Structure 1
Amino acid sequence: MEHSLRNWIGLFLLGSINNLPYVIVTSAAKTIADSVALGYLRLFPSKCVNAWSSGTGMAGVLGSAIYIIFGCSIGESNDKSQLKTLTKYAFLLTLPAVAVYLIAYFVIIKAPKTDDTFHRGDPSIQKPLNEEERSLLHGSDEGALTVESTLHRLRRCWGLVWWLSLNLCAVYLFEYVAQGCASKVRPASEYNKGCPELFAALSFCYQAGVFVSRSSVQLFQIKRVEVLSVLQFLNMVLWIFDVHYKFIPVYLLPALMIYVGLLGGASYVNIFYLLLHEDKYPEEDREFCINIVSLFITGGIVLGTALETVLFNTVLESD
């Protein structure tokens, strides 16, 4: 129980700090670190993914809150020097997180020994495959161990995870377009006013939704992740139409943006929970499968920002 709580706290801190900085070079490092850390979770009970994902959700809440706090403190001016000050102090505030990250990784988290059994959060106990089991899995003759090429392993694992990969990519694509549309769903005169400013407030609502749903897998699990993708697609269409027609009252926008975050966060945590929990993913390939799927997060973000850029420079340019 003590180790479980320590690991939970450590993974939460690791997820929070690992996802806090998110620009160019640091975002590249973050993407690699995400993939490695998610694969590392195979050493823990599957529900520990809830701690990691909850931490990543908290990072979004903290990041958007920092900008709101500093934005309110410097007033409503559009002075570029003040914006530069806001950015500088926001990033300086994250520097101490490096120390917390190292403490979480090296001190708090205690991974099971490599020869320990793997417990996936259910009554069954799974042990690492022995040589005979691996040879049978790879289809070798007479129980002899075969050496599988990297390409063959990639093809085999892709056959296991392609559906989850595409759904994770899609949900990120749709939510990033919807989130970007928040910058244009109201007339320009309604932005850069008040505290918090409209777009900053909607961004905070989105992150709050992500945090709640990424912390939900302990309470319930969703296997039909494609349902979340379809609902997020409908969300994206709604926000795109609202950019042009502006028919949604401003007081409903925060709830709708929380809903966008809820769907995106639920897709993330449930997909990685399935990868860590389901027996269909061989124990020896679980980390590799997770690495493949995590790459599609970046794919979804790239496609989402590209689609948003095209829309804002073509059919939605004058809105």
Structure 2
Amino acid sequence: MTSNQEVVVASPVTPHPPPKDRKLWRDLTAYWILGLCNNYGYVVMLSAAHDIIAQFQDSEVDDNTTENTDEDTRKCHLVSTGAILLADILPSLCVKIVIPFLPFWVNFKILLAVLLSASGFLLVGFATAEWMALLGVVITSASSGIGEPTFLSYSSHFHKNVVSTWSSGTGGAGVIGSLSYASLRALGVSPRDTMLIMLFFPALEAFSFWIILRKPLIMPLHTSALESTEELVTDEKPLRGFKEKLVYIKTLFPYMLPLALVYFFEYFINQGLFELVYFENSTLSQAAQYRWFNVDYQIGVFISRSSVNLYKIKKIWLMAVFQFVNVAYFLTEAIYFYTPTIWITLVVVLWEGLLGGGAYVNTFYRMSKEITPGRRRFAMAMVTQSDAYGIALAGFLAIPLHNAICSLPPAYRKVVW
């Protein structure tokens, strides 16, 4: 080495921050709309459960007509709305169990989901027998069951915040679905015409997926060059084959069990007890009270599902405990009618919705942060089953509970504010 030669010391390269993605709004907006449309039909069927049952029984569909005018018996339907819940969740659960193990044909799955959603609205709207209405509910459920795991799995190719906008959209489905149904019925629109109006949402779902949402890159859009290199080193290999995926499921139990419990308690209330809580001196009929309880609940869900970027919760099991307390309140209220005013019950219903929505969004947001990209797609699809397990069990138990409470002597409120 000569004296005039310089020794060049390599310095660490400081990575440049990734360029700002100016079209990210398209993905975030699309996922909000997809969450809305995917859950909209499911919410509407639950909101319409009271009417779907009533129109095929001896009572009139008129809101001013009660199901039983005998003063010695409670005002109950012969069939619990838990039957609608089972028709609305079991097909979805069956689909969610199978979907993670199938090839990821995203375009085919979404097309099928859109067609099934539209068919479900048409069947319920034009039903001339109870089995046709239930079949429509089943088909709508299958559509939601295809869409949720597919969209959440697909989210692994986009910015992590699409999970939060998806969750917010599903919460929005609760509010818009229950409120639109309750409002249209209050305006005198028939159940059939209401269902036909709602065909707008399957069309919106298709437009959002194929037009608004951008085609993903090979790597997630939020990943910088440096992050890509690190993930290639630290990321676990993608899961291959049925056996390997089956073994991996046990690592997802910390996400699945608390979420399943929250939804079990939540839907045990919604479909087993809501319709049995009735305030006689209210200006609203029993059917209208049921619908507005659903609207109130969905407002709580929407607020909490939209809150993850403001407030994050890790202890999902704590929400399950609080939801169990809500079960105790609604069970005793349905039996003894001790709450003096409907406004107190509406506050508890709102709280119930906040717990359910918070458990959902925080579970999937944690997964988007804690599970490595190579396994996130399968994990997201699997954990969507957990709330369905809880909801299905709640539906089974809601039916005998409904019958047991209906067999009790009638209760009357001694104090009404």
* TM-score scaled by length of structure 2: 0.64
Equivalent in the alignment of 1:270 = 362
Equivalent in the alignment of 2:178 = 64
Partners of 2:170 and 2:333 lie apart in 1 by: 29
> Could you list the runs of 5+ residues in structure 1 that have no partner in the other structure?
75-84, 139-145
Shift of 1:65: 1.4
Q: Please tell me whether residue 32 in structure 1 is matched to residue 134 in structure 2.
A: no
Shift of 1:34: 0.6
**How far does the alpha carbon of each residue in 1:212-232 deviate from its partner, in whole angstroms, 9 at most, with x for none?**
111111111111111111111
**How far does the alpha carbon of each residue in 1:139-177 deviate from its partner, in whole angstroms, 9 at most, with x for none?**
xxxxxxx99542233212x23211211111111111111
Shift of 1:264: 0.3
Q: Is the 8 A contact 2:37 2:201 kept in 1?
A: yes
Q: Please tell me whether residue 150 in structure 1 is matched to residue 242 in structure 2.
A: yes
Q: Please tell me whether residue 291 in structure 1 is matched to residue 291 in structure 2.
A: no
Equivalent in the alignment of 2:67 = none
User: What secondary structure, in the 3-state scheme, does the structure 2 residue paired with 1:247 have?
Assistant: coil
Give the aligned residue type for 1:230: V
Equivalent in the alignment of 2:312 = 221
Shift of 1:8: 1.2
Q: Is the 8 A contact 1:38 1:291 kept in 2?
A: yes
Q: Is the 8 A contact 1:18 1:33 kept in 2?
A: yes
Q: Please tell me whether residue 49 in structure 1 is matched to residue 171 in structure 2.
A: no
Q: Please tell me whether residue 252 in structure 1 is matched to residue 354 in structure 2.
A: no
Shift of 1:70: 2.2
Q: Please tell me whether residue 183 in structure 1 is matched to residue 285 in structure 2.
A: no
Partners of 2:264 and 2:239 lie apart in 1 by: 37
**How far does the alpha carbon of each residue in 1:276-315 deviate from its partner, in whole angstroms, 9 at most, with x for none?**
111xx23211111111110122211111111211211225
**How far does the alpha carbon of each residue in 1:254-292 deviate from its partner, in whole angstroms, 9 at most, with x for none?**
1111111110000011101011111xx232111111111
Runs of 4 or more consecutive aligned structure 1 residues displaced over 6 Å after TM superposition: none
Shift of 1:49: 1.1
Shift of 1:245: 1.6
Equivalent runs, 1:100-111 vs 2, <5 Å: 100-111=204-215
Deviation larger for 208-217 or 92-101? 92-101
Give the aligned residue type for 1:5: W
Partners of 2:41 and 2:246 lie apart in 1 by: 31
Structure 1 residues 117, 37: closer, same or farther in 2, change over 3 A? closer
Q: Please tell me whether residue 305 in structure 1 is matched to residue 395 in structure 2.
A: yes
Once the two structures are aligned, what percentage of the paired residues are identical? Answer: 27
Equivalent in the alignment of 2:303 = 212
Kindly name which structure, 1 or 2, has the bigger radius of gyration based on alpha carbons: 2
Q: Is the 8 A contact 2:268 2:391 kept in 1?
A: no
